[in-house]
A and B are shown apart, each in its own frame.
Chain A
Amino acid sequence: MDSWILPLILIVPVLTLLAILFIPKNNDEIIKNITIFGSAISGILSLYVFMAFAQTRDPNQFDFSMVWFSNLSIRLDFGVDGISALMVLLVGIVYLTGTLISCKITERIKEFFILYILLIIGVYGVFISQDLFFFFFFYELAVVPMYLLIAVWGSSSDFKTFARTKEYGALKLMLVLVASSVLIWIGILSTFIVANQNSFLFKDLIDANIGNDFQIFIFPFFLIGFGVLAGLWPFHTWSPDGHVAAPTSVSMVHAGILMKLGAYGILRSIEFLPAGAQEWMWLLLILGTINVVYGALSAMAQSDLKYVIGYSSVSHMGYVLMGLATLNVIGTAGSVLQMFSHGIMTALFFALVGVIYERTHSRDIETLDGLIKPMGIAGTLFVIAGLTSLGLPGLSGFVAELFIFIGVFQTNPFMAILGVIGAAITAIYILRLIARIFFGTVSEKWANLPDISRFELIPSVILVFFIIFMGVLPIYFIDAVDESVKQLINSYLSNFVAG
C-alpha cells in the first residue's frame, strides 16, 4: 500500500488537472471547488507522508520503481528521505494555501489552475524522484508554466524611475532559468557517461565513485545551474522581478517552493559529487554570504512592498546556501529547516501582500500608513511573518538560522559573523517596514478598508500554525530530518576516508 503513496501524490494533481480540463469554461465555482478539494487531498497526503516518515524514519518505506525508458535504463523511481519528506510537506502546505488564495482570481480561472497544478506536479516530482533524469524532468516541468502564469495573470508596475512590465518579468525569469538548466543538462549528461553505471538512480551514482578530477570539473555546472534557481548572487535578479510581476499565489509557490528546488538540487549533487563539493564549497559559502548581506541591503533600499519581500527571499535563500556550504551535520540540517521555514514564512508574506494590495491598490511603502487599525488581523499575521523573518525565538526561523550559524562558525567564523550582520540588517528593514505600513498615523484614505476575508484568513492561519508549531516544537522536525542529514554527511565524509 505504502509504495503507492508517492505515485498517488503525483496522480491526485494530475486527476485534478484532467477534471478541470474537461469542465467547460465559465463554471468558475465548480472549477474552484474541485481544485480546492484536490489540493486538500494532496495536502493531507503530504502531511501523511511526512508524519509517517517522522514516526518510522525508514527511508525505504515508500519506494516505488518502474522502468520508464529501457534504452537508457531510466527508471521512474520514487522515494523520500527526511529531507524530501519535509519538502513534500512544504509543497502540500503551499499548494493548498495558494489554491485558497487564488480563488480571488476572476479572469481565465480554468487556465490559471491548469498551469498552477502543472507547476505543482513538477515541484512534487522533483522532491520525490530518486532518479536524476526524472529529477531534471520535473525540474524543467516546474519552470515551464511560470512564463504564462506571470505573463497572463501578473501585473505590470510603474515606478518613479523605471517600469517593469509583466512580460518582462516573465520572459526574464523563463530565459534565466532555462539558461541555467543548460548547465544542468551538461552536468547530467556528462555525469551519466562518466559514472558508467548505466543508471540515473542517485544511489547508483553515489556508488559509482566518480573520479575526483571529473567531479571537480563538473560540480560548478550543478552548483551554478541549481544555484540560479535558488537565487544565487549574482544571478538572482530574475527572482525579485518575477515576484513583482507574478500574481499572489504564484509568488507564494515561486518563493515558497520553486527557489527551494535549486537548494535541494545542490544538496543532492553533493551526495554523488562529494569531492567536487569539497573543492567548490568555498565559492558557495562566499556567494551565499553575499546573498545574505546584499539581499538584505537591497531589501532595505526598496520602496515597493513586493520588492522588499522578493529581496528578503534572496537574502534568506543565502542562509540556506551558507548552511549547505558548511558540509557538516548541523549546518546542513539548519539549511533544510530553513528551506521549510522560509517556504512557509514567505508564502505567508506574499499572501498578505496580496491582501494589502487588493485593498489599497498600492504596494508603495511610502504611501501605506497605519494599516493595523483597519486591518487588525492581517496586520497581526504580517507582524508574525516579519518576526519569523528576523529570527525571533519561538518562531520557525530561529531554530533554522541558529543551526546554520553554528554550522558556519565551525567552518568559517568570519563568514558567520557576516551572516549574523545580515540577520541584523534583516531586523532593521523588517521592523522599519512594519512600523511604516502598519503603525503610525492612519491616513484618511485607508481608514475604511475591510479586514482580511475568510478565504484569505484560512490559508494564513494554516501557515501561521506551522510557523508556530515549528518554533515551539522544533525537535519534531529536527528528529525527522536529522538522520537523513547525518547519512548524507556521513556518505560524504566516508568518501574521503576511503579515498
Chain B
Amino acid sequence: MENITNNLSYLIPEIIITILGFIIIGIGIFTRIRNKFVLPFVSISGLIFTAIYITFFFNFSNVHILSTTDHNQMNDLFIYGGLLKLDSFSLLFKFIFIILGIFIILMSIDYVDKYVNHEGEFYGLIILSIAGMMIMSAANELLTAYIGLELLSFSLYILVSLGNDPEKTNESSIKYILLGGFTSALVLYGISQIYTELVKNDIVNPTFFSSIGIYATQYENFPPLFIFGLFLLITGLGFKIAAVPFHTWAPDIYEGAPLPIAGYLATASKLAGIALILRIFAEIFEGSHSSLVIIVAILAILTMSLGNITAIAQTKYRRLIAYSGISHMGYILVGLATNTIDSYTAVILHSIGYAFSGLLIFGVLISFYNRTNKENISDLSGLYKTNSFLALCLTIALLSTAGLPFFVGFISKFYLFLAAVEQDLLWLVIIALINSLISLYYYLMVIKEMYVNEPDDIQVISTNNIEKLVLITSLIGVIGLGIYPEIIMDAINSASVSVFIR
C-alpha cells in the first residue's frame, strides 16, 4: 500500500490532467456559460501548471545533462513494478504533448464558438487525450501502452464527431471509429500472440518491452506466430501515425473532423504514436534482425512516395496536408529503419519540428476557415492580399516541411538522412530526397496560389490577438530551432539516450 501511495506522487501530472478533464466536461454540462473564453482559460491554466510541474519537480533538464555523459547516472524511475518508466524521454514527450494541447485549445476558441455544439466535451476530451498520450510515452509494457492508446483513441473518436454539421462529420467519425476499433482489436490480438510466445519460452514479465528485447536477442529466427503478433502490433501503430498501407483514414478524417481536431491528429496524436514506436522498436531491434530493417525500409518508401505523389493531385487543403503528413511519417520510418542512437535523436528532433510546422499550418488554416468557410486550395488564392501575415506563416511552414534552410526542417532532415547514410542506407536516403523534391513542388503550388494569383474577392481577412499569439509562437519555434537547434538538443539527446540505451 505504501508503495502505491509513494508511486502516486510521480503520477501527479497525469492525475491533475485527468481531474482537469473531468472538471471541464462537468462545467460544460452543468453550467450555462456563454463566454467562449472561460473553458479554454481554465483548461490552459491547468495545463500550464502541469507543464511547469513537469519542468521543475522532475527537473528533467538536469537529468539529461548528466545522462548524456554517463548513462549510469541517469535517474530512470520505474514505478508500479516497472509498468511505467519515468525517464527523460517520457518527460520530454509529456511536456511536448501538453504544449501541443495548449496550442490546439488556443486555436480552437473561435472555431468551437462557431462550429461545435458541445464546448465542455470538446475541451475536456482534448485534455483527457493528453493524459492518454502521457501514459503512452511513459509505458514500459504492452498492456499499459494499450490502455494509453485506447484512452487517446476513444477521446479522438468523440472529438472527430463533435462538429455541428452532421453531414460532414458523420461519415468521417464512423469511418474513424470502425477502422480504429478494428485496429485496436488487432493490436490486442497481436499482443496476445507475443505474450503466448514469450510465456512459452519462460521469459518473466512477458508483456514488458524489455522482455521482447530479451526474446529478440535470444532467437535469431522468430517463429511465425511471433512475427504475426509483431505485424499486428506494427499495424496498430502504423494506423496511429498513418503510415502506408494503414493510412487511408487520414485524408477522410482530416476532411470531416473539426479543423482543430485534424490539427491535433496531425501533430500530437502522431507524436504519441512515434513515441510509443520508438520505445518498442528500440527493444525489438535489440537483436540484429536485418529482415525487420528491410520491412521498415519498404514501409518507409511506400509511405513517402504514396503520400507525396497522391498529394500532388489534391484540390482541398485538408487532404493535401493529410497526404503531406503521411509522407512525413515516411521520413520518420527512415529513421526507424536506421536504428542508431543518432537516428533516434534525429527522429525526435524531426517530429518536434514537424509538430511546430503542423501547428503553424493548422493555425493559418483555422483562421482562414473561420473567416471564409472555404476548403479548396484554390480558395487560398491571393491570401497575400487579404492577409499577408497568414500567407507568410503558411509559406514558412510549408518551406520548413519541405526541408529548406533557416527552418527547423532543414537541420532535422539533414541529421536524419546523415544518420541513415551512416548505416549504409544511401539508397533509402536518395529515395527520400527525391520525395522531398516532389513535396516541394506541391508546396510551391500552394505558395504560388497565395502570392501570385489574384484573390477571388478582396475582402480583408483579419486575425485576432490569440491567433497572432499562436502563429507567432510557432513561427518562433520553426525559425528559432532552424537557426539555433542547439537549444533543445540537450533535452533531445538525453531522451534518445534513455530510450535507446537500456
Can you spell out 10 A-B residue pairs with CB atoms less than 8 angstroms apart? A69-B489, A72-B415, A111-B384, A140-B404, A144-B399, A174-B440, A175-B437, A182-B437, A186-B429, A189-B429
Report if B451 contacts A (CB, 8 A): yes
Residues of chain B within 8 A (CB-CB) of A137 are: 405, 410
Segment at the interface with B among A40-48, A147-155, A409-417 = A147-155
Residues of chain B within 8 A (CB-CB) of A161 are: none
A147 vs B444: C-alpha distance when bound (angstroms): 8
Q: B373-395 vs A: 1/0 string, CB under 8 Å?
A: 00000000000100010000000
Considering only residues 150-165 of chain A, those with a C-beta below 8 Å from chain B are: 151-152
Given the known interface contacts A68-B486, A71-B345, A152-B452, the answer about A182 and B433 at a Cβ–Cβ threshold of 8 Å is yes
Contact A71 B437 (CB under 8 A): no
Residues of chain A within 8 A (CB-CB) of B415 are: 69, 71-72
Contact of B422 among A71, A144, A193 (CB under 8 A): A193
Q: Given A167-B448, A189-B421, list of 15 further CB < 8 A pairs?
A: A68-B486, A69-B485, A70-B489, A71-B493, A72-B418, A111-B384, A137-B405, A141-B405, A144-B405, A147-B444, A152-B452, A178-B437, A182-B436, A185-B429, A193-B422
Given the known interface contacts A71-B415, A144-B404, A190-B426, the answer about A182 and B486 at a Cβ–Cβ threshold of 8 Å is no
A151 vs B422: C-alpha distance when bound (angstroms): 39
Contact B444 A174 (CB under 8 A): yes
Contact B447 A148 (CB under 8 A): yes
Contact A147 B421 (CB under 8 A): no
- Beta-carbon nearest neighbor of B418 in chain A: A189
Contact of B410 among A111, A140, A190 (CB under 8 A): A140
Report if B342 contacts A (CB, 8 A): yes
Given the known interface contacts A69-B485, A147-B447, A148-B447, the answer about A140 and B426 at a Cβ–Cβ threshold of 8 Å is no
A71 vs B399: C-alpha distance when bound (angstroms): 24
Chain A nearest CB, measured from B454 CB (Å): 12
Report if B37 contacts A (CB, 8 A): no
A25 vs B342: C-alpha distance when bound (angstroms): 45
Chain A nearest CB, measured from B348 CB (Å): 11
Contact of B451 among A138, A151, A179 (CB under 8 A): A151
Report if B411 contacts A (CB, 8 A): yes
A148 vs B445: C-alpha distance when bound (angstroms): 11
A182 vs B432: C-alpha distance when bound (angstroms): 10
Report if A1 contacts B (CB, 8 A): no
Residues of chain B within 8 A (CB-CB) of A147 are: 444, 447
Given the known interface contacts A182-B434, A190-B426, the answer about A175 and B418 at a Cβ–Cβ threshold of 8 Å is no
A68 vs B433: C-alpha distance when bound (angstroms): 24
Contact A68 B434 (CB under 8 A): no
Chain B nearest CB, measured from A251 CB (Å): 18
Given the known interface contacts A140-B410, A186-B426, A189-B417, the answer about A152 and B444 at a Cβ–Cβ threshold of 8 Å is no
Chain B nearest CB, measured from A461 CB (Å): 34
Contact A185 B448 (CB under 8 A): no
Question: Which secondary structure dominates chain B's binding surface?
Answer: helix
- Beta-carbon nearest neighbor of A74 in chain B: B411
Residues of chain A within 8 A (CB-CB) of B448 are: 151, 167, 171
The residue in B414, B451, B485 that gathers the most chain A C-beta atoms within 10 A of its C-beta is: B414
Residues of chain B within 8 A (CB-CB) of A182 are: 430, 433-434, 436-437
A346 vs B6: C-alpha distance when bound (angstroms): 76
Q: B440-481 vs A: 1/0 string, CB under 8 Å?
A: 110010011001100000000000000000000000000000
A179 vs B426: C-alpha distance when bound (angstroms): 17
Residues of chain A within 8 A (CB-CB) of B414 are: 72, 133, 189
Report if A498 contacts B (CB, 8 A): no
Contact B485 A148 (CB under 8 A): no
Residues of chain B within 8 A (CB-CB) of A140 are: 404-405, 410
Considering only residues 23-71 of chain A, those with a C-beta below 8 Å from chain B are: 25, 67-71
A190 vs B436: C-alpha distance when bound (angstroms): 18
Report if B222 contacts A (CB, 8 A): no
Contact B452 A167 (CB under 8 A): yes
A262 vs B159: C-alpha distance when bound (angstroms): 52
Report if A350 contacts B (CB, 8 A): no
Contact A186 B433 (CB under 8 A): yes
A64 vs B301: C-alpha distance when bound (angstroms): 41
Chain A nearest CB, measured from B463 CB (Å): 16
A151 vs B414: C-alpha distance when bound (angstroms): 28
A175 vs B312: C-alpha distance when bound (angstroms): 15
A140 vs B405: C-alpha distance when bound (angstroms): 6
Contact of A68 among B399, B417, B484 (CB under 8 A): B484
A179 vs B433: C-alpha distance when bound (angstroms): 9
Considering only residues 404-426 of chain B, those with a C-beta below 8 Å from chain A are: 404-406, 410-411, 414-415, 417-418, 421-422, 426
- Beta-carbon nearest neighbor of A68 in chain B: B486
Report if A492 contacts B (CB, 8 A): no
- Beta-carbon nearest neighbor of A76 in chain B: B484
A140 vs B410: C-alpha distance when bound (angstroms): 10
Given the known interface contacts A71-B342, A137-B410, the answer about A148 and B451 at a Cβ–Cβ threshold of 8 Å is yes
Contact of A152 among B342, B410, B433, B451 (CB under 8 A): B451
Contact of B430 among A25, A141, A144, A186 (CB under 8 A): A186
Residues of chain B within 8 A (CB-CB) of A72 are: 414-415, 418
Nearest 4 pairs between A and B by C-beta? A189-B421, A182-B433, A137-B405, A141-B405
Contact A70 B426 (CB under 8 A): no
Q: A114-154 vs B: 1/0 string, CB under 8 Å?
A: 00000000000000000001000110110010011001100
A207 vs B444: C-alpha distance when bound (angstroms): 40
Residues of chain B within 8 A (CB-CB) of A238 are: none
Contact of B444 among A69, A171, A189 (CB under 8 A): A171
Report if A192 contacts B (CB, 8 A): yes
A171 vs B441: C-alpha distance when bound (angstroms): 8
Residues of chain B within 8 A (CB-CB) of A190 are: 421, 426
Given the known interface contacts A151-B452, A190-B421, the answer about A178 and B440 at a Cβ–Cβ threshold of 8 Å is yes
Chain A nearest CB, measured from B307 CB (Å): 18
Contact B437 A192 (CB under 8 A): no
Chain A nearest CB, measured from B429 CB (Å): 7
Contact A179 B437 (CB under 8 A): yes
A365 vs B451: C-alpha distance when bound (angstroms): 32
Residues of chain B within 8 A (CB-CB) of A193 are: 418, 421-422
Residues of chain B within 8 A (CB-CB) of A152 are: 451-452
- Beta-carbon nearest neighbor of A179 in chain B: B437
- Beta-carbon nearest neighbor of A185 in chain B: B433
A171 vs B434: C-alpha distance when bound (angstroms): 16
The residue in B429, B433, B447 that gathers the most chain A C-beta atoms within 10 A of its C-beta is: B433
Residues of chain B within 8 A (CB-CB) of A179 are: 437
A31 vs B418: C-alpha distance when bound (angstroms): 41
The residue in B404, B405, B415, B489 that gathers the most chain A C-beta atoms within 10 A of its C-beta is: B405
Q: A71-83 vs B: 1/0 string, CB under 8 Å?
A: 1100000000000
